[in-house]
Structure 1
Amino acid sequence: MGAQPLIEELQQFQLFKGIDPEVLPTLLEVLEQRQYRSGTVLFNQGDQGDAMLLVRSGSIAVFLKDGDTEIVFRNYGRGEIVGEFALLDDKPRSASARAVGDLTVWVLQGENFQQMLKERPIVGVELMRSLAERVRYTTDYLRRLHDAAELLLHQDYERALQEMTASASDDEIQSLINAFLEMVTAIRQRESQYKRVAAPAKIELDSRD
């Protein structure tokens, strides 16, 4: 396959739609193709973030573990990107990811990205600009998540739900919100179960006094 079809494929990724097409051949040079079988864990929460994954086929489920409960934030399919912030902050992964179906990805290693910034700054600047747009893109969700988490700490579940469902229009943010709502529902169910178990015990203790 020649370079042009691959360049056209790169242009389908949201991250690269605003990038000058002239720099994409340079980007292709540092991308590594990898394939994974369905169910393969790509990284775990807490792992050092050192690469960005670009989905060419199959999909990636990003999830958190809450005790025995697995909360899937969303599935990333063809033309979508996972782990882009690893290129910026070099911090541990905030969630886990695994292959859903047989998966083919391009991988941009953090060290290759840093090297590209030094050797070909124009390409690096273009990519940094696009990454910055994605940071702004998630700012609203993160603010709402922080506010809702504060409400959860005070067991104000209804207001937490209202905070996360207000003005939810973007598909990607909406999927994250849905995962948060699922988590709130699970917390409320656990609290109800605890109360049902604890209430008879309290009655029995009171009767002994």
Structure 2
Amino acid sequence: MSKELLTEFLSKHPISASLTPAEVEILLEYLEVLETHHKQVIADIGEVGESLFFVVSGTAALYHDDGNQEIEVGRMQTGELAGSMSFFDRVPRGVRMRALSDNTRLLRLSRSMYDRLRVEQPYIAVNLLEFAIISLDHLIRRVSEDVATYAHYLYSPGKK
């Protein structure tokens, strides 16, 4: 994926809403492109998050594995941030993230590059943190809606 396309992606991304074009270019210097193949594991259960991922194209699915089977519990679409919970709290991941197609591309921010970003470009790092908070808020809202729908289905009047 060309630098121009990545710059265009980041420029239109909500993380860059308050960044100048020069700051978007700087942020891109801290990121690396990860191109995946179908069903490739991007992040696995039990790992402590050493990377954050921005989905640039394609879709990544999140799976719970009970030892017998994988059950899809969510999807990360283009533009979404993935892997932030374990990255920030350093608790091992509870789900596995897999690419759903050969054209799933991500931008990866490693812990070492994030540590450099915090020191060298604190304004950009704050924007990243704010976006991570918003992304987690959206995730919690989606999960809450799913739980409410499921509870309504199970416990609605007329159910026995």
Q: What TM-score, normalized to structure 1?
A: 0.60
Q: Which residue of 2 aligns with 1:60?
A: 60
CA distance in 1, matches of 2:39, 2:138: 30
SS at 2:100 equivalent:
strand
Letter in 1 for 2:60: I
Per the alignment, do residues 114 and 142 of structure 1 end up closer, same or farther by CA in structure 2, a change over 3 Å counting?
Answer: farther
Q: Which residue of 2 aligns with 1:34?
A: 34
CA distance in 2, matches of 1:90, 1:164: 35
Per the alignment, do residues 6 and 159 of structure 1 end up closer, same or farther by CA in structure 2, a change over 3 Å counting?
Answer: closer
Aligned residues: 153
Q: Which residue of 2 aligns with 1:127?
A: 128
SS at 2:38 equivalent:
coil
- What's the CA shift for 1:160? 6.4
- What's the CA shift for 1:27? 0.8
Q: Which residue of 1 aligns with 2:151?
A: 161
Higher relative contact order (CA 8 A, sep 6+): 2
Q: What TM-score, normalized to structure 2?
A: 0.76
Which structure 2 residue ranges, 5 or more long, are not aligned?
Answer: 156-160
CA distance in 2, matches of 1:71, 1:118: 39
- After TM superposition, what 4+ stretches of structure 1 lie above 6 angstroms from structure 2? 142-145
Q: Which has the higher helix share?
A: 1
- Superposed, which structure 2 residues align to 1:23-172 within 5 Å? 23-102=23-102, 103-140=104-141, 161-162=151-152
Which structure 1 residue ranges, 5 or more long, are not aligned?
Answer: 149-157, 166-209
Matched, 1:18 2:31: no
Q: Which has the larger radius of gyration?
A: 1
SS at 2:42 equivalent:
strand
- What's the CA shift for 1:163? 9.1
Q: Which residue of 2 aligns with 1:183?
A: none
SS at 2:70 equivalent:
strand
